[in-house]
Structure 1
Amino acid sequence: MKFTNKDVLLFDLDGTLIDSVPDLALSINQMLNALDMTPYPTDTIRSWVGNGAAVLTKRALSGSIDIDPDLDATYVEKALSIFLSFYDKNVCVETTLYPNVKSTLESLHSDGYRLVIVTNKPEQFVRPILKHLGLNDFFEMVVGGDSLPKRKPDPMQLTYVCETLGVSPSSCLMIGDSKNDIFAATAADMQSIGLTYGYNHGEDINSHGASLVLDNFAGIIEALVPITEPTY
């Protein structure tokens, strides 16, 4: 499949551009230790990532991807604050780029595409990560999980990008690794690319209705019909 007339590319962050699990797991386990709770293996925490900091905190407190409905709200807020404090110190210690991410973004940016981050990660952490990994200059806009009242899978973040940049959903493409990205794009009337290597809680990304599914980030370039200069 080839996408035509795309000007704006919206990218999820965790599980799409970066593998942030090592630093998230470190910070979650530091939080659990501070609360005198048992820490978990990194691979277990990996299965909980993808729905924002608050949900990750609740899953850690529950010890399961299924959140305990009886969790005390005040205790959750305390735990979340502790987690965010630790993550602020660990935000880019072992976080790494997935293969071909930087070269692909550089190529897309050079080709004239407008690049945007749309993530459920709290906004305060996004630019420091992008800067540390040498990606900051590629993105003209960042929308975090706490930037607006709602976040993916709700389409609000995507609609906000369209309104802010003055573009239509049909000229945009959402690229992510989880069903939250695909569902948000569908609800925003936007086409999407699903990536198979990220955090989708063990579910096959092919089952969520993405316009195209790729195994390799570099495949995005081939999936786009290049922007052409207007002829006069």
Structure 2
Amino acid sequence: MKFSDKEVILFDLDGTLINSAPDLALAVNHMLVTLDRDMFPEDIIDGWVGNGALMLVQRALSGKRTVDDSLDDAMVQNALDIFLKYYAKNLCNETIPYPHVKTTLNTLKKKGYRLSIVTNKPFAFVEPILEGLGMNGLFELILGGDSLPLKKPDPAPLLHVGEKLGVSVKKCVMVGDSKNDILAANACGMQSVGVTYGYNYGEDIGVHNPTVIIDDFSELLELL
């Protein structure tokens, strides 16, 4: 298929535009070692990414995707502080864009599309990562997981982008790797593109009914 009448493209960040898993894993394991806890392999930590920093820390402290209800609030906050301070200084050690992301984004921008980022990652980390990877200046609007009271899978951030840019939902498309992205889009009637790489908790992205599924980021050029 080919999308028509689209003006704004909303992108998830981690798992869609960039592979940040190695640096997130380093920060998580630094936190765990600091707290005298066992570390986890990167592929396990990958499955905990996608719902923001607090949830990632809670999952790491629980040692599983389902957060332990008995976690002490003060301990969680201390762990989160350790994680955030370390990650802030180690954003782009091993983080890289996925194949064809930079060239595709530049082509889309040259074609006149308005690009935005809607991520659950804390806002303060987003621009430094984009700058470190040479991807700054491409996006008209950036929302982090703490930019609004609600984050994906709630549709509020997607609706906010449309409102701020003065564009209807029908003229937007959401591109992401996880169910959070697709559920948010479906909830507000926005068409979506699911990518098969990234971090979707081991689920097939197709389960959540994106409008289109692609295997390579460059396939966006065939859709738009």
The interval holding the TM-score normalised by the smaller chain is over 0.9
How far does residue 43 in structure 1 lie from its aligned partner after superposition? 1.2
**1:78-105 CA distance string (max 9 Å, x none):** 1111100010011111001100000000
Q: Which amino acid in the other structure matches residue 171 of structure 1?
A: K
SS in 2 for 1:192: strand
Q: Which amino acid in the other structure matches residue 131 of structure 1?
A: E
Q: Which amino acid in the other structure matches residue 116 of structure 1?
A: S
Query: Unaligned 5+ residue runs, structure 1?
Result: 225-232
Query: How many positions carry a matched residue from both structures?
Result: 224
What is the match of residue 17 of structure 2? 17
What is the match of residue 99 of structure 1? 99
What is the match of residue 26 of structure 2? 26
Q: Which amino acid in the other structure matches residue 29 of structure 1?
A: N
**1:152-200 CA distance string (max 9 Å, x none):** 0001100110111111000000000000000000112100000000100
- The correspondence of residues 1-232 of structure 1 with structure 2, limited to 5 A, is 1-224=1-224
- After TM superposition, the score normalised by the length of structure 2 is 0.99
Query: Unaligned 5+ residue runs, structure 2?
Result: none
Q: Distance in 1 between matches of 2:25 and 2:74?
A: 22
SS in 2 for 1:164: helix
Moved over 2 A (4+): none
Q: Distance in 2 between matches of 1:56 and 1:209?
A: 25
How far does residue 74 in structure 1 lie from its aligned partner after superposition? 1.7
Q: Which amino acid in the other structure matches residue 81 of structure 1?
A: D
Q: Distance in 1 between matches of 2:85 and 2:32?
A: 13
How far does residue 140 in structure 1 lie from its aligned partner after superposition? 1.1
How far does residue 55 in structure 1 lie from its aligned partner after superposition? 0.7
Give the fraction of aligned pairs with identical amino acids, expressed as a percent: 58
SS in 1 for 2:89: helix
SS in 2 for 1:193: strand
Q: Which amino acid in the other structure matches residue 75 of structure 2?
A: Y
| Aligned-CA RMSD value | 0.6
SS in 2 for 1:136: coil
